[in-house]
Amino acid sequence: MNLIETLEAENGKDVLPAVHVGDTVNVHYLIREGEKERIQIFSGTVLSIGGRGIRKTITVRRIVQGEGVERIFPLHNPRVQEVEIARRGDVRRAKLYFLRDRVGKKTRVKELLGEKARRERSRDESIQAAQAAAAAERAASKPAAATEGEE
């Protein structure tokens, strides 16, 4: 791993939510209202996943009062506290921009069910477990490196 990748792994979140294109998600976003802070939930369909490393983002689209609204969330942003996956989508493309031209019932995405969904879920879990393990390893090696530097 090169230096930039190492830094991004350290600075970013340890475990990323297992979001896929086509999923219906609830994004918990911390917003500021004057002095108070509260969590706003933005739910919609994931149209695309962009970026790599610490710049990874998701584009979420929903219909608010008959008007399509899209928000782009950087997944490593500390303000994005949680991304709940409400429903897995069964899609065959990486970007769902065609949904922008559709209205009403046609905007629905088929749900991913059955054996495939189970397989995907176990895959996501193993990926997240690997991320957690890598983070734990970094945390373990970090103090060791610090003491080496002092000697």
Distance in Å, CB of 129 to another protein, minimum:
25
Instruction: Choose the binding region for another protein from 15-23, 58-66, 76-84, 131-139 (rule: CB under 8 A).
Output: 76-84
111 DSSP 8-state letter: B
Give the bridge partners for 44, in sequence order.
Answer: 25
- Give the number of C-alpha atoms closer than 13 A to the C-alpha of residue 37, restricted to the C-beta side: 6
Q: Is residue 58 a contact partner of residue 75, using CB atoms and an 8 Å limit?
A: yes
Closer by beta carbon to another protein, 73 or else 89: 73
Contacts of 137 (CB under 8 A, 6+ apart): none
Interaction between residue 30 and another protein (CB under 8 A): yes
Strands of 36-50's sheet in order across: 67-74, 57-64, 36-50, 24-33, 80-87
Over the window 52 to 71, marking each residue x when it contacts another protein by CB under 8 A and - when it does not, the resulting string is -xxx----------------
Q: Binders of another protein among 84-143, rule CB under 8 A? A: none
Interaction between residue 144 and another protein (CB under 8 A): no
Distance in Å, CB of 17 to another protein, minimum:
16
Give me 56's structure tokens.
Answer: 């990874």
Binding site for another protein (CB under 8 A): 2-4, 7-8, 11, 30, 32, 53-55, 74, 76-79, 145-146, 149
